[in-house]
Structure 1
Amino acid sequence: MRLPFLIFLLGIAGLVPFVFLGGSIFIGHLFAPQPRLMLALLAYGACILSFLGAVHWGLAMERPDIINDRTTSDLDRWRLIFGVCPAVLAWLALYIGMVANPRTGLSLEILGFVAVYIFEKSGWKKGAIPQGYIRLRLALTIGVVISLLLAILGT
């Protein structure tokens, strides 16, 4: 299944702040520390990681029987449970990054993005994730991880 061009375009647009901030931190640290950019990247990463969990809530909630019926399918139950996990991890990464060490927070976000992709890839193999979506997620995950690594290496 091919995704509409708008979804592809918006996915790439969401990657732009990662690339800009990660690259700016990497290059900028050659001249001076960039703590505000690190926090901006950390906060943006936490927002997007939370959003990825919300996607799965949307997939579960799009079915009218989840609201009207007393039973929830195993797949929808897993989607609802999993949908909360990225938000909790994003909050933890943001908190640790702000209170203790931004590099540690960015590292946790990397783990979160990779874990979400692995979980989604598992769901895709079972037919629970659209094929076009999983390809886009792979490309975006690679872009995000590279950007976050650049920021970590730039400090």
Structure 2
Amino acid sequence: MNAARISAVALTGAAALGLAAPVASAQVAPNPVTAGQRVNISDDRQCDTARGAKAASTLFGAVALRPGTRGMAADATVAEGATPGRYKVTIECGPGGARFTETVTVRSGSVHGVNSTQAAGGLALLVLAGGAAYLLRRTVSPRF
């Protein structure tokens, strides 16, 4: 197998693994964050809007979630004194209902990173570019 075929197979496999990854039930964006930064918390449509939901964390206290476009959601501000580390955010669907958690990383300074949507888009572009290079190489190669 030549290098182009190996690259195409490897990129396709990586794309399949990325798409098969489980989706978190509790979502906090952006992640990672810095102290004092505003975050959006969402239940990813896991909770019944009639029963309500709340999110709680040592980063911002307790916050009531309201119905929105991505299910139950709210904005909160990370505490100014939050030290760098990993913190749990727990969403509870109604009183005594299902609970979902997400781990949020607090970093010092400003955060410049890539979220999961951007990473998936970049991976898709990489797979397309590898496939195009493979096809171009096959059609341009001289045949003897």
TM-score normalised by length of structure 1: 0.29
More contact order relative to length (CA 8 Å, sep ≥ 6): 1
Structure whose alpha-carbon radius of gyration is higher: 2
Question: In proportion to residue count, which structure has more strand?
Answer: 2
